[in-house]
Structure 1
Amino acid sequence: MKYTLIIFFIVAISKTKCNVTANAKNVGEGDISTTRLPSDFTGNKELSDKKLESSKNVGNGESSVYLDDVIFAMKNQNWTAEEKPCLDHIYRLLAGLQNFTLWAVWEWDAQASEPQGLLFGNRYQLGNFDQCMNAPWAKTHPELKTKYCLAEIRLERTDKAVRRRVDRPTYPYQSALDYIEYHVPHSRPLNELTWGACVPSSCPPRTVEQLLGIMLARSHLGAAGIKADISVDEPCQSAEDELEYDALFYAFFIVMGSVTAIALVCTYLNYQRTQDSSLDADSREPDFISAFCLRENASDLLRMKKEGVEVFYGIRFLTICLIVMDHQIGIYNAGPISDALSSDELFQQEVNKTTLGMLILHDDLFVDTFFLLSGFLTVTNLVKFNRLPNPLFIILKRYVRLVVALAVVIFYISAVHPYTGTGPLWKRAIAYDTTHCRNNWWLNLLMLNNYINPESMCIIPSWYIPCDFHFFVVTILVYCIYRTWPKLGITIAALLTAASIIAPGVVNYMNELSAVQLFTFDFILNPRGSKDFKLTYIPSHTRFASYLVGFYIGYVFIKYSSKGLDRMRQKWSVLGALAALTLMLLVMLLGSSYLWRSYHPLEGAVYAALNRPVWALGVGLLVLCCSLGHVPLIKSFLSWYPWVPLSRLSYGLFLTHAMLIARNVFITRNPQHNDYVEIVNTTIGIIFFGCLAALAIFLLAEAPANKLLALCLKSKVKKMKDQESNPDPLSTTTSMSTVPTGSGYLSENLPGTIQYSSKI
């Protein structure tokens, strides 16, 4: 017996050495042996019910068992005839993996074999997009072409177990199925993921769905028998799908190039004209050349107007910076991040609230600051008219100031923006916006995009622009009535004020909406589809109150500054400023609490009606304290001269920042870590480049258009002056009744400050 065992071991060792030597020899003989496929993998024979065998020259191991398991699962699926080319490629791929052939390993290595980090909120499993799209042999071996597909997956438990109540959702000894199923209010669900797959170019969407189902079933998520609802609803990407430049792309550069050339020529001609000593620079009449002169437009950008409200410069620019940061946080968290659970803790219930979360959850109030500034500057400019000109001309001038920069940005998004990036999520996110801009650009230019077809709005933040324009038009018309019939004007203004406060509360109560706009993960993914967004957040009739508060605050400022009461005691100024800041803080914190408090329709409606005008009242009180009195540090900081040019670029930054943020987020290839220091750093970069874009828009389009319109109106004024019998109809000593009510009195009555009156 002893000798028999010894002989047995010797024979076994000899056979093992022979097999290893033979395998090594086969691998070293060249590419032919490594790409040799079993007959069942070649696709030349009909698929049989017999389980496919692994290649003989690959030893048994975990990878071999995994691939055999995948092959077996594929054999038990129902495939159609049109899927056969795809299956042939996949079988060759699996055989190549067993032989460790380069092209097969390259293709398999380009995708995540199973989801990772899902329990910590890592929704996006993107694999390696560039490796899939840029195989070195893509052009020389067309039979190995691949494409990149995105699949949306929803996991559902199949067991019928009764879930036990667990006070702590992260109790370590509970079932992971319970944890995945547990959905904290206002946070992203853990049972949904987006999976990027690198598949043969011949595979139809149904085949991709089945393949991912097989892979998911053999992952750790499939161990408990989770059912996966998989869908591939959008076209896959391949290396051959490069966008071709269309006519709109070339049109943008032709138009902007022509405008740039005109501006450079006009700048040179205007400079030559200033060198002529026979001409007085101050006495020259504005003309086409000066309208496009870059030097003169830049000097307008740098000019600081001393009118007592210099704090507006700092408030305006710092407010847009806060809005950019908020949008950066929101869009960044909607993209691929590896630790989304940490971000969602900001939205969780009371026990998990954080100070940072309380401060940023209701930060949409910053937009109401712009409405306040708009209303304030509107009234301060209107009272400067000795005789009110034709309101249609004032409205036209306001429209041009708003629409020119907006048109340039829409033109860019429609024509150029799709060509500026690539990535797994790029087409989904950016092409979606481009399509809306190409189809609905006219709604933006007509200032109707916040009412008509808002679910297809071009440039989501642009809802602010029609609101501001509608407020301006209504205010101008009511003010004209007030100048003619004061009592009637006051009555209409009182009714408008009451309606503007009541309207959001009524809409909120009737539709059982939240007291504040919930900036949850679902909202950020699709803001246009949010019911709250369309009913209460963007309509003009629910946002008018803050504008009217600004109008009345501006009237108070004009009344007291005109009486010489322009200096408030420092003690009262400081106390008033502190009260204003406290009021603003309370409104913001109270609004954040509605995200986790129990819902009470009446209470929510009252807060929805009052929170925005109260916030605007706090900002207005701060402005009055700084303008009519002296608040150390705050007033000097907000009136700092560098805010002047930056504040005038705020409008362009408002229009461009979301586009820049979206590009940074959706060209990413891998989930990022949610680090707030990095978010601040990125925000600073967005503000910098957004200001550069805004500067180009201002110098090349916005300022020239405003000046050209002023020239047109001035020519009309001059023409109508020639028809007047009174040589000086604009004299301040002439009574209101002796002045004709025509439109020929606009130019000289319009103060220069209205140029930036109610723009952001």
Structure 2
Amino acid sequence: MKLLAVCSLSLIVEITFATTNFKPSKSLPPEDLENAEYSFENFTDELDNNERFNKYIYLDDVVFGLKSQNWTNDELQCLKDTLDLIKSLQNYTLWAVWEWDSVASQPLGILSGNRFQLGNFDQCMTSPWNKRTQIRTQYCLAEVDLERNNHVKKKRLDEVGPYENALDFIEHRTPYYRPLKYLTWGACVPVSCGPRSVERLVGAVLAHSHLSAAGLRPRITVNESCQISDQATHFDTGFYAFMSLFGFMSAICIVSTILCRHNETNGENQIKLNLYKAFCIKSNAVDLLNMKKDGIEVLYGIRFLTICFIVICHHAGFLNAGPISNGIKVDDNLTIFGWVILHDDLLVDTFFVISGFLVAKNLVHYKRLPNILLMIVKRYVRLVVALAIVIFFLVSVFPHIGSGPLWNRYVMEESGACRENGWLNILMLSNYINPDRVCLVISWYIPCDFHFFVIAVVVFAMFKKYPRCGVLCAGALSVAAVVTPGVVNYVNNLQAIQLFTYEFVADPRKNEQFHKTYIKSHTRAAAYVIGFFSGYLFMYCRKKKVMMMSQSKSVIIACVALVIMVFVTMLGVSYHYRNYSKIEGAFYAALNRPIWAFGVVLLILSCIFGKVPVVTSFLSWYPWVPLSRLAYGIYLVHTIIVTRSIAISRNSVYYDNFSVFMNSVSVIVVSSFFALVLWLLFEAPANNLLILMFKNRQPVRPTVDESVAGTSGGKINTQMPKGKSNLSYIDDNLPTRIEFSSKM
């Protein structure tokens, strides 16, 4: 009797749990409910109480819970198919067990930060007899918000004891804003079920979990289309257009490489030879290997190592926002390692420093500035070609290169945003127009760099013609670049920095600070300005033949630079852990990026005008040369690779720092390969053709412009000296060996 009483009480609680989330719209007609093929009474009459308790009570309760809800006429087919499934399941029919077994019956690990309860996607989608049964299945994702019936004051994590109510823990948010009360639930249901019906079915399953006795009111929503099993893949016009473009460019480059070698041997028309060289794979590959020994070789290493750190940080952030099983532990680790990665956006300012430095260096080289419009067009082409190809890939090919529980969600977010707003990226306006739907989130850097280049060229041209006016204009813009971020933060009451918390990495497009300060050109210009002035200083010192610094001074300056960079990073992260005034946050928002840029410049100049043991030779190491020139392509493609690896996840994975590092290394390697393909087939030919078009209009050219992080101008006439092999050509470009010295 006691046992029956407990079962009855549990059944009442579960039914209450399953029905509280749903409001009736139009009830199932009583006669249909009575005449339904499978009723709760029919099930119970077939078995005695003992057998029913041991074998059928769970499924009977599910049926009772489902039929106690208010189903509309449009949902009757879904209800019938579901009851048919449960009837077959009670008979232990294989197809029904196969489908039911693919759904998680209990939420696992939610207290440790495991949000995604995805079940077995492949078992739901690829049953071997799916086409031979009357009921086809679909995989749906439901978002579950575990609300409490009684609202209480939320406690901090350290205030929740082991003997207190677990709901206090579930309602808690970690210091990095990771919510524990939200679940993403994968459901395998009949294809006849719509979003509303799926919500009911998920509610019935949750009613029989251990959450049913917690007094929760789950709000369940299905916001995206379900994936239907054995659904044929349809390739649209965009897919065939991209594949045709890729095949066409591959054929052109291969044929040009063959013709280039043939014409070099026969000494034919130079114009025709230059045209072949524009597409020649060998010539463009040699251009990647060419090391210009102009005193700033350390930039090769700084550029490539910076993109490596950015890839690691992006990979860690994307994975942290995806299906992981130990979210709480990850947030605990951030308390220790967060001082390094929570303000890692400063790494991008290193690219701005390098870009400004090289723009100034190349502008000073000109004896007479060429047409400003021509310079802007060249920069635009160098930036936009690779970007356009990547956007084209995201729109046309990316939806077809994977599958998984979260695949549609990521495809709709990334590919959909590019379909809507990719044209804004091409026009360099994506960081100002529709930033909440920006195509390729990390691409905000590109319009910023282009805007800075345009302003730098115009102001420098003004300086060459009207020196006093140019100096005043440059001074005013420099002050505005430093002050503006602080003013914007103060007016909008924003945080001192953009912290890479869970909420941000989960969906940066919805973050207010991301829109207003993080991606805007007028709030990110300070680092570029510092880099530009340092490049001008470098050329001035070279022109005046300033003496080299001693090794001891170089080491001291390099150490000071590292201290500055570490200090500004750690100070920024401290704003996440402590209270601070509004004016203090505004001051830091204004000064943190120029201070970081100043530290980077000190490090660069200490290596250029002096010698820092190990550091100078390591950063000038020849293998960094081709890799640094691929940095722009790596920057564009690495998030696509990371996104795919997360979108095809079938279940939550364990987040481990060393595993993230190892996986990031593989992402860097694969990204480098695709960046090389992007360079050989699209970037280099476009740059070379542009140079060939305007070749006769240019004055004496400076060294090849590499002011874009990771890009390099094409060199039409680049070729190996006669009589030298590839190996000897590489040897000629190798710097002296890396020296290890104990002397400071």
Q: TM-score scaled by structure 2? A: 0.88
* Residue 99 of structure 1: aligned partner: 91
Distance across 2 between alignment mates of 1:449 and 1:685: 30
* Residue 742 of structure 2: aligned partner: none
Q: Does 1:404 align with 2:396?
A: no
**8 A Cα contact 2:157 2:174, kept in partner:** no
Q: Does 1:301 align with 2:288?
A: yes
Q: Does 1:381 align with 2:371?
A: no
Distance across 2 between alignment mates of 1:113 and 1:178: 24
Q: Size of the alignment, in residue pairs?
A: 680
Q: Does 1:147 align with 2:138?
A: yes
| Partner of residue 56 from structure 1, selected from 22, 47, 50 | 47
User: Are the structure 2 counterparts of residues 165 and 445 from structure 1 closer, same or farther at C-alpha, using a change threshold of 3 Å?
Assistant: closer
* Residue 445 of structure 1: aligned partner: 426
User: Are the structure 2 counterparts of residues 358 and 242 from structure 1 closer, same or farther at C-alpha, using a change threshold of 3 Å?
Assistant: farther
User: How far 1:561 sits from its partner (Å)?
Assistant: 2.0
* Residue 407 of structure 2: aligned partner: 426
User: Are the structure 2 counterparts of residues 560 and 163 from structure 1 closer, same or farther at C-alpha, using a change threshold of 3 Å?
Assistant: closer
Q: Deviations over 1:365-400 (max 9, x none)?
A: 000000000000001000111111111111111111
Distance across 2 between alignment mates of 1:53 and 1:63: 11
Q: Quick one: percent identity of the two aligned structures?
A: 49
Q: Deviations over 1:610-661 (max 9, x none)?
A: 0001001000000000000000000000000000000000000000000000
Q: Does 1:602 align with 2:583?
A: yes
Q: Deviations over 1:445-491 (max 9, x none)?
A: 11000001111111111000000000000000000000011011000
**8 A Cα contact 2:140 2:225, kept in partner:** yes
User: Are the structure 2 counterparts of residues 41 and 69 from structure 1 closer, same or farther at C-alpha, using a change threshold of 3 Å?
Assistant: farther
**8 A Cα contact 2:156 2:172, kept in partner:** no
User: How far 1:528 sits from its partner (Å)?
Assistant: 1.0
* Residue 265 of structure 1: aligned partner: 255
User: How far 1:568 sits from its partner (Å)?
Assistant: 0.6
| Partner of residue 558 from structure 1, selected from 539, 550, 554 | 539
* Residue 488 of structure 1: aligned partner: 469
Distance across 2 between alignment mates of 1:223 and 1:111: 21
Q: Does 1:750 align with 2:695?
A: no
Equivalent runs, 1:329-728 vs 2, <5 Å: 329-346=316-333, 353-354=335-336, 356-715=337-696, 717=697
Q: Does 1:174 align with 2:164?
A: yes
Distance across 2 between alignment mates of 1:212 and 1:516: 40
| Partner of residue 213 from structure 1, selected from 180, 184, 203 | 203
Distance across 2 between alignment mates of 1:54 and 1:137: 32
User: How far 1:601 sits from its partner (Å)?
Assistant: 1.0
Partner of 2:632: helix, strand, or coil?
helix
User: Are the structure 2 counterparts of residues 120 and 673 from structure 1 closer, same or farther at C-alpha, using a change threshold of 3 Å?
Assistant: same
Q: Does 1:80 align with 2:65?
A: no
User: How far 1:157 sits from its partner (Å)?
Assistant: 1.1
Distance across 2 between alignment mates of 1:342 and 1:360: 16
Moved more, 165-174 or 441-450: 165-174
Could you tell me which amino acid in structure 2 is paired with residue 586 of structure 1? F
**8 A Cα contact 1:54 1:98, kept in partner:** no
User: How far 1:275 sits from its partner (Å)?
Assistant: 2.2
Partner of 2:108: helix, strand, or coil?
coil
Q: Extract unaligned runs of 5+ from structure 1.
A: 1-39, 348-352, 718-746
Distance across 1 between alignment mates of 2:247 and 2:156: 65
Q: TM-score scaled by structure 1? A: 0.86
Partner of 2:138: helix, strand, or coil?
strand
Q: Extract unaligned runs of 5+ from structure 2.
A: 1-30, 712-744
* Residue 241 of structure 1: aligned partner: 231
Q: Does 1:327 align with 2:308?
A: no
Distance across 2 between alignment mates of 1:146 and 1:550: 58
User: Are the structure 2 counterparts of residues 622 and 157 from structure 1 closer, same or farther at C-alpha, using a change threshold of 3 Å?
Assistant: same
Distance across 1 between alignment mates of 2:285 and 2:622: 15
User: Are the structure 2 counterparts of residues 88 and 586 from structure 1 closer, same or farther at C-alpha, using a change threshold of 3 Å?
Assistant: same
User: How far 1:288 sits from its partner (Å)?
Assistant: 1.2
Partner of 1:424: helix, strand, or coil?
coil
* Residue 157 of structure 1: aligned partner: 148
User: Are the structure 2 counterparts of residues 223 and 712 from structure 1 closer, same or farther at C-alpha, using a change threshold of 3 Å?
Assistant: same
User: How far 1:518 sits from its partner (Å)?
Assistant: 2.0
Q: Deviations over 1:575-607 (max 9, x none)?
A: 000000010000111111111211421111000
* Residue 276 of structure 2: aligned partner: 289
**8 A Cα contact 1:153 1:228, kept in partner:** yes
User: Are the structure 2 counterparts of residues 585 and 165 from structure 1 closer, same or farther at C-alpha, using a change threshold of 3 Å?
Assistant: closer
User: How far 1:87 sits from its partner (Å)?
Assistant: 1.4
| Partner of residue 212 from structure 2, selected from 208, 222, 225 | 222
User: How far 1:45 sits from its partner (Å)?
Assistant: 3.6
User: Are the structure 2 counterparts of residues 132 and 49 from structure 1 closer, same or farther at C-alpha, using a change threshold of 3 Å?
Assistant: closer
Q: Does 1:314 align with 2:296?
A: no
Distance across 2 between alignment mates of 1:73 and 1:52: 14
* Residue 3 of structure 2: aligned partner: none
Could you tell me which amino acid in structure 2 is paired with residue 750 of structure 1? R
Could you tell me which amino acid in structure 2 is paired with residue 588 of structure 1? T
Distance across 2 between alignment mates of 1:508 and 1:166: 28
User: How far 1:756 sits from its partner (Å)?
Assistant: 5.1
Partner of 2:183: helix, strand, or coil?
strand
Moved more, 69-78 or 293-302: 69-78
Distance across 2 between alignment mates of 1:654 and 1:472: 19
User: How far 1:65 sits from its partner (Å)?
Assistant: 2.2
**8 A Cα contact 2:633 2:710, kept in partner:** no
Q: Over the residues paired in the alignment, what is the CA RMSD in angstroms?
A: 2.1
User: How far 1:52 sits from its partner (Å)?
Assistant: 4.4
**8 A Cα contact 2:160 2:168, kept in partner:** no
**8 A Cα contact 2:155 2:168, kept in partner:** no
**8 A Cα contact 1:51 1:75, kept in partner:** no
**8 A Cα contact 1:41 1:95, kept in partner:** no
Distance across 2 between alignment mates of 1:227 and 1:203: 23
Distance across 1 between alignment mates of 2:559 and 2:594: 18
Q: Deviations over 1:528-555 (max 9, x none)?
A: 1110000000000000000000011111
Partner of 1:234: helix, strand, or coil?
coil
Distance across 2 between alignment mates of 1:106 and 1:383: 71
Distance across 2 between alignment mates of 1:51 and 1:207: 24
Moved more, 204-213 or 624-633: 204-213
* Residue 732 of structure 1: aligned partner: none
Partner of 2:637: helix, strand, or coil?
helix
User: Are the structure 2 counterparts of residues 321 and 190 from structure 1 closer, same or farther at C-alpha, using a change threshold of 3 Å?
Assistant: same
Q: Deviations over 1:424-460 (max 9, x none)?
A: 1001012321111122221111100000111111111
**8 A Cα contact 2:357 2:707, kept in partner:** no
**8 A Cα contact 1:124 1:194, kept in partner:** yes
**8 A Cα contact 1:111 1:126, kept in partner:** yes
Could you tell me which amino acid in structure 1 is paired with residue 65 of structure 2? A
Distance across 2 between alignment mates of 1:195 and 1:605: 41
* Residue 23 of structure 1: aligned partner: none
Partner of 1:195: helix, strand, or coil?
strand
* Residue 187 of structure 2: aligned partner: 197
Distance across 2 between alignment mates of 1:465 and 1:285: 34
Moved more, 372-381 or 565-574: 565-574
**8 A Cα contact 2:630 2:710, kept in partner:** no
Could you tell me which amino acid in structure 2 is paired with residue 97 of structure 1? L
Distance across 2 between alignment mates of 1:165 and 1:195: 26
Distance across 1 between alignment mates of 2:156 and 2:229: 50
* Residue 222 of structure 2: aligned partner: 232
Distance across 2 between alignment mates of 1:43 and 1:565: 97
User: Are the structure 2 counterparts of residues 560 and 112 from structure 1 closer, same or farther at C-alpha, using a change threshold of 3 Å?
Assistant: same
